[in-house]
Structure 1
Amino acid sequence: MKLVVVSALLCAMLALITAADPPAKQHVEKRTYCTCARYSGWTKYGNRNYRYINTPMTWAQAQRYCQYMNANLASVHNLWEYRMIQRVIYYATHTYKTTWIGGSDAQQEGYWFWIDGTRFRYAFWCRGEPNNLHRREHCMHMNFTGSKCMNDIPCNYRYPFVCVRK
């Protein structure tokens, strides 16, 4: 009985608050939404938003986690974007941690794709990479070695990752 009364009071209170809001107040609410998005861990760059997840997962688990947030593992289209993703990682960890991004050649060796379907036109490969060591390196991570470059690595290894969404 108490739950029904509390629910009814809560609904009535929300209805009164909504009815009392002047049009200017609604504009403020939209600005609040943008502020909340910024504080939720997403960083905007151009028309895309990035989020660093510091939980080590396999590449496939990381992609599934990104999809849960309506995103994908990050694709990289130029050096500026690569540097931006590095900054997202650095701000979260105060270091340049080795991190999954959305590149893979698991479908066919040597044909790299971005998981979000964008064209693979840019890569900042480390020297001698991708090398498909032991014929089992089909996923991409970044910030490898002191050069902080891209490397191919087995997909079942566990790393933190960066998601991107529009």
Structure 2
Amino acid sequence: MSAGPKLPHCLLSCLLLMAFVAGDSLRWATTCPQKWLYYRGYCYGYFTARKTWAEAEDECSRYGPMGRLASIHSQGASRVLSDYIARQSDRDNTWIGLRDDEQWKWSDNSAFDYQRWDREQPNNLWDKEDCFEFWHDYPCNYKFPFLCSHQL
């Protein structure tokens, strides 16, 4: 018997198996870190350490080139992330990536296309509240837990 026709079939099977294993490894390499939340192409991580807004933004940048304080672009995302924060054991006011630099903008420079202000917010009390925790403005030097995100 000749091994001729079986050899290309075996090689093709081996190549397909290797591609499947490599693809599976790549998929696992692009999942969220443990205890982070995946939502629509982004990973979100809640940090209980209390930091100023700038310190929190700096900490988030350590989670890859796209790491930032979270930006929120829909009611669905706001609801999902509010629920995620509510499930944390040491939850409190939580910094997100919104900041007032003459106008409201996200730290990742994405479009400011959604907001859900708390009642009577933003109020910029004493003209010193330029950073945002979950839909309430505060002075940027206050220290709160924070929500990081990075795109997969």
CA distance in 2, matches of 1:39, 1:103: 23
Tell me the equivalent position of 1:160. 145
Tell me the equivalent position of 1:42. 36
- 1:121 deviates by 1.6
Is the 8 Å Cα contact of residues 91 and 145 (structure 2) preserved in structure 1? no
Tell me the equivalent position of 2:79. 83
Return the structure number with greater helix share. 1
- 1:41 deviates by 2.5
Tell me the equivalent position of 1:16. none
Partner AA of 1:154 in structure 2:
P
Of residues 52, 56, 78, the one that matches 2:50 is 56
CA deviation digits over 1:65-98, x for unaligned, max 9?
A: 00011210011111111111112212332x7631
Tell me the equivalent position of 2:10. none
* Structure 2 stretches lacking a partner, 5+ long: 1-16
Partner AA of 1:156 in structure 2:
N
Moved over 3 A (4+): 24-34
TM-score by length of 1: 0.71
Does 1:138 find its partner at 2:130?
yes
Q: How many residues align?
A: 132
Tell me the equivalent position of 2:11. none
Percent of paired sites with the same residue? 32
Tell me the equivalent position of 2:69. 73
Is the 8 Å Cα contact of residues 48 and 91 (structure 2) preserved in structure 1? no
Of residues 98, 106, 114, the one that matches 2:93 is 98
CA deviation digits over 1:91-130, x for unaligned, max 9?
A: 332x76310000010x21xx10000101112111112111
CA distance in 2, matches of 1:101, 1:61: 12
Distance change >3 Å, CA 96–CA 79, structure 1 → 2: farther
